[in-house]
Amino acid sequence: MAPMTMMMASPAAFGRGGHVRSASVPSQRHPLLTHVDDQLRALRSWTSDPGQNPLALAHVRALLCVLDELTPLMPLSSSSRLLDAFLALADAYGSFLAALLALRQHAADLRAAVRRRDPAKLASAARAQRRAAKELTGLATAVARCSPIHAAAGFSSELEVARTVAQAVSDTAAASASVFHQVAFLADAAAATALAVSSSSSSKKRTKHAAGEEMHKDVAVARLQELEQCVGELESESEKVFRSLLHTRVSLLNIHTPTI
């Protein structure tokens, strides 16, 4: 009688806790997931240390472009959970664009008041700019909360896609909050510099410090010009991010409610 041969499963066939994994689970990740991981690392690195480019949205745009390619792989159950998260991000960028437009006008008004040495208009424009900065701070706090419900645990490729997209949404929200906060900081700092010019202009010792007053005025004008330039560049970048968010949400919506 021939000896009975025992078939042993290979170690690779077992997952955590000794459970046998399904043979249908792919051994390799989808190439797009690796691409998303690369973009996520780049975005996180920038968020933790923006360096000389605290207002850059290039990494956010690059990540969203890859996500747009990944959305067709999303499972139906997860796409429904992510729809609200992308809508919240899109709404945040819509509000950000409106705030940038108002801020650019406030900065122009404030710069004109500084050059004319008009204390009343300067004070009014500075208050308006500081209100805009406060609104941006609130918007930054709100967008930081745009985090979707995480996908369920599991080993399927679809669930891995869902988890990766959810993480990308969270990281996009964090990076966006960083940019919004930085714009608010620059706006408030420029308003404070302009108000300092107003204070020096009304000083009784103004004639003795004419040179210093002129220097303060030049610094204030330069900061406001820099703010206007940054805001103008951000308007273009934010518009592109806004459109990418809307496009990705439409793709998810098509998955959730396929055309018959």
- Provide mean pLDDT across the span 71-96: 86
Does some domain include residue 45?
no
Q: How many domains does the chain have?
A: 1
Answer whether residue 28 is part of any domain. Answer: no
Rounded to two decimals, the pTM is 0.81
- Judge whether 4 lies within some domain: no
Residue 35, in any domain of the structure:
no
Domain limits for position 239 = 70-256
In the three-class reduction of DSSP (H, G, I as helix; E, B as strand; rest coil), residue 150 is classed as: coil
- Mean residue pLDDT of the chain comes to 82
Q: Is residue 41 part of a domain?
A: no
Q: Is 205 helix (H, G, I), strand (E, B) or coil?
A: coil
Q: Residue 51: inside a domain, yes or no?
A: no
Burial of 190 (0-12, 13-18, 19+ CB in 10 A): buried
CA distance 197 to 219: 9
Residue 182 banded pLDDT, cuts 50, 70, 90:
very high
Query: Looking at residue 180, what is its pLDDT?
Result: 97
Mention every residue, 6+ apart, whose C-beta is less than 8 A from residue 74: 82, 158, 161, 162, 165, 252, 255
Which residue has 């747009």 as its token pair?
68
What confidence tens digit (pLDDT) does each residue in 104-152 have?
A: 999 999 999 999 888 899 999 999 999 999 999 999 999 998 876 665 5
**Which pLDDT does position 107 carry in this prediction?**
94
